[in-house]
Amino acid sequence: MQNKAMYIPPDGGRAAERLVREVREEFSARQAERRLLERGWELDMNFLAGNQYCDINPAGELEEEEPRYFWQYRRVFNHIAPAVDTRCAKLSSMRPALGVRAAGDQESDIRTAKISSNVLKAVCEDNDLDGVIDKATVWSETCGTAFYKIVWDAEGGKCIGEAEGKPVYEGAVRVAAVSPFEIYPDDLGAETVEELGGLIHARALRVQDIERLYGVRVAGRQIPEFSLSPRSLSAHFIGGQGRRAASSLADAEIVLESYKRPTAEYPQGRFTVVAGDRLVHDGPLPYCNGERGGRTFPFTKQCAIELSGSFFGGSIVDRLIPVQRAFNAVKNRKHEFLNRLTMGVLAVEDGSVDTEELAEEGLAPGKVLVYRQGAAAPRLLGPDSLPADFREEEERLLDEFTLVSGVSEISSTSGNGTGITSATGLQLLIDLDDTRLSVTRNSIARAVKGAARQILRLMREFAGPQRLMRMTGEGGGVELFYFSAGDISSDDVVFETEADGARTPGENRSLIYEIYRMGLLSDEDGKVSSDTKRRVLNALGFGGLENARGLEQLHANKAAEENLRLAHKEAEADVYDDHALHIEEHIRYLLSGEFKKCGAGAKERFLRHIAAHEALGKEKAARQAAAQKNKAANAAEKEE
């Protein structure tokens, strides 16, 4: 996912060797600085997977905990995994809807917003952005932080020709979810990516992938249990129920991408790529993806829990670990107590029975127990009832799971332990449950919005003078548009999500129905205009029904095309036009600020065109009146 046009310095040279050494030393220092953070993430992943008898030892390494007694129960009652699953499901249903709003009411602003919005939707669909967000959300919920990387792929898109015997592609934007294991900031106290002075993206790539992306061949090696790569999580799990086979990447090498912000020495920033011990690239930051055409890092950050004074966010799993440990202990001790009640604890006098046989076989039903004559007979210790403390502590811990995770019974089990039965009360509980996720939801919205800005800026930089793209038109129809990079603007538009991200699609539809029934969409005559009906159907997801209702949108599109032609030359009115609608669209254009940019004679052309519509409209009305009159006369003759 790199631009193949980047400058690659020649091999060898003391300067290249020194730069490779500096990048590798800087990477090693950042690895050591955040080692305990990584161990915490690995602990979180173990608990999520079900290996919950492990901890970080004083040396800062992850190790498995041994049972104190051989007979102790070590079962796992995993409540962390369903809590994370429920949070991910609710966050997925609250996903922000990206759109581009025009900066003004001029035709150029509206056209720019429409093109930008459709380009953004097309890129998101091409990258399966929903799937990327889902993957990033799992990482952020597990480890606390996830990242989106937005780059330009020179080999993406359609093939548009050949050069020097090789295919040439139009290029495409690529968006990928990146795990926190791969991102190494220069300041762990910075709270945003924009506050960083430098950042290293470290990942393990196969030799053939390095050659394809950067055009150089490096000697590969076996990278065992590499913790930076998200393609396999098995390297993070140790022992117990979470034990998995150790993972390794064969014939691979570590690639370090070092990003540094623009400075006086490097006004365009610095981007250095090191693969193994070779320097494969050194130059300015690759993209003009910042504000006002500046260069910045191609990353946005998403957190589950924002932490003050920390670059990496907090994890829900990390908060749930103490509760999960206590819950496992209570459940296991409870089961041990129940086993004592059912199997019993036998008291025997020393030497009265064969204790080895008794320990091995136990007290089977019907067993004949022989003991020494004159000795005290073996006896079972009196059974006690299960203490109520077990049940009370178990219920308290379940309540703590709800409190810490932010997921109530209504969301996780569809149960209602509150005793509330009214619809209003239950809705308030659901709203309160959604409010607990607002911090995480807002972080996702900010990250996705930042990624959308960079998507449009990359399209503006690399789309070229002419590009064909399939876009969604009015009513859900498919339209093909030619546009240039200059038609896309990310600085003159506003990115907006849904007005209330906490509402589900079903709740939004119910709200629209209520607004419609209240008559808020009707005019003073109590009628709903065709344009309003079309927009309501689009909002409800039934935009295709607009095609069965009439030809209004087709006439509106034709009138808009005539506006563009009339700005420079004459355009004729057709007999089959909806003349009233055409006249309305032409007058709207005359009153807009875009008309002021038209050259001399445009006003006269518009007036002549409107007059032609008026004349044809009168002729059409006269024909309809005559036809109605003839129809009435024929009906009268039949009655006679």
Cα–Cα distance, 141 to 315 (Å, whole number): 6
User: Are residues 64 and 202 part of one domain?
Assistant: yes
Judged by DSSP in three states, 149 sits in: strand
What is the predicted pLDDT for the residue at 491?
56
The per-residue b/e assignment along 383-415, b for 16 or more CB within 10 angstroms, e otherwise, is eeeeeeebeebbeebeebbbebbbbbbbbbeee
Tens digit of each residue's pLDDT (9 = 90 or more) over 9-24: 555 578 888 999 999 9
User: Among 328, 324, 330, 320, which residue's Cα sits nearest to residue 403?
Assistant: 320
Q: Tell if the pTM clears 0.85, that is, is over it.
A: no
What is the predicted pLDDT for the residue at 365?
65
Look at the chain and report how many structural domains it folds into: 2
Q: What is the strand order of the sheet 299-303 is part of? A: 172-178, 145-153, 299-303
Tens digit of each residue's pLDDT (9 = 90 or more) over 213-259: 888 888 888 886 544 543 333 344 454 444 444 457 788 889 999 99
Give a yes or no: residue 478 inside a domain: no
User: Are residues 188 and 50 part of one domain?
Assistant: yes
Asked if the model's pLDDT at residue 363 lies above 70, the reply is: no
User: Are residues 56 and 171 part of one domain?
Assistant: yes
Tens digit of each residue's pLDDT (9 = 90 or more) over 287-315: 988 888 889 999 999 999 999 999 999 99
Tens digit of each residue's pLDDT (9 = 90 or more) over 34-68: 999 999 999 999 999 988 888 888 888 888 888 87
pLDDT: is 583 or 636 the higher one? 583
Where helices occur in 518-601 by DSSP H, the ranges are: 530-540, 546-549, 552-566, 579-591
What is the predicted pLDDT for the residue at 146?
95
Judged by DSSP in three states, 574 sits in: coil
Half-sphere exposure of 38 (CA within 13 A, CB side): 20
Give a yes or no: residue 409 inside a domain: no
User: Are residues 79 and 207 part of one domain?
Assistant: yes
- Least confident window among 68-72, 164-168, 227-231, 504-508: 227-231
Cα–Cα distance, 123 to 118 (Å, whole number): 9
- Arithmetic mean of pLDDT, 400-418: 67
Identify the band that residue 420 occupies on the pLDDT scale cut at 50, 70 and 90: low
What is the predicted pLDDT for the residue at 563?
85
Q: Which contacts qualify for 303-310: CB closer than 8 Å, 24 or more apart?
A: 303/140, 303/144, 303/145, 303/440, 303/443, 304/140, 304/141, 304/144, 304/145, 304/440, 304/443, 305/144, 305/439, 305/440, 306/191, 306/439, 306/443, 308/191, 309/189, 309/191, 310/188, 310/189, 310/191
User: Are residues 561 and 458 part of one domain?
Assistant: no
Give a yes or no: residue 190 inside a domain: yes
Whether the CB-CB separation of 600 and 569 falls below 8 Å is answered with: no
- Arithmetic mean of pLDDT, 606-630: 89
Give a yes or no: residue 512 inside a domain: no
Work out the mean pLDDT of the chain and round it to a whole number.
79
Asked if the model's pLDDT at residue 452 lies above 80, the reply is: yes
Give a yes or no: residue 482 inside a domain: no
Judged by DSSP in three states, 393 sits in: helix
- Arithmetic mean of pLDDT, 138-158: 91
What is the predicted pLDDT for the residue at 232?
35
Task: Supply 107's token pair.
Answer: 């035709």
Asked if the model's pLDDT at residue 499 lies above 60, the reply is: no
Cα–Cα distance, 482 to 470 (Å, whole number): 9
Half-sphere exposure of 575 (CA within 13 A, CB side): 3
pLDDT: is 107 or 524 the higher one? 524
Give a yes or no: residue 105 inside a domain: yes
Give a yes or no: residue 324 inside a domain: no
Angle among Cα 633, 636, 638 to the nearest 5 degrees reads 110
What is the predicted pLDDT for the residue at 147?
96
Cα–Cα distance, 615 to 572 (Å, whole number): 12
10 Å CB burial of residue 266 (0-12, 13-18, 19+) is: middle
Whether the CB-CB separation of 148 and 451 falls below 8 Å is answered with: yes
Asked if the model's pLDDT at residue 602 lies above 60, the reply is: yes
Cα–Cα distance, 294 to 269 (Å, whole number): 10
- Arithmetic mean of pLDDT, 413-427: 55
Question: What domain range is 204 assigned to?
Answer: 14-317+437-462
User: Are residues 584 and 447 part of one domain?
Assistant: no
What is the predicted pLDDT for the residue at 475?
45
Give a yes or no: residue 326 inside a domain: no
Judged by DSSP in three states, 385 sits in: coil
User: Are residues 584 and 446 part of one domain?
Assistant: no
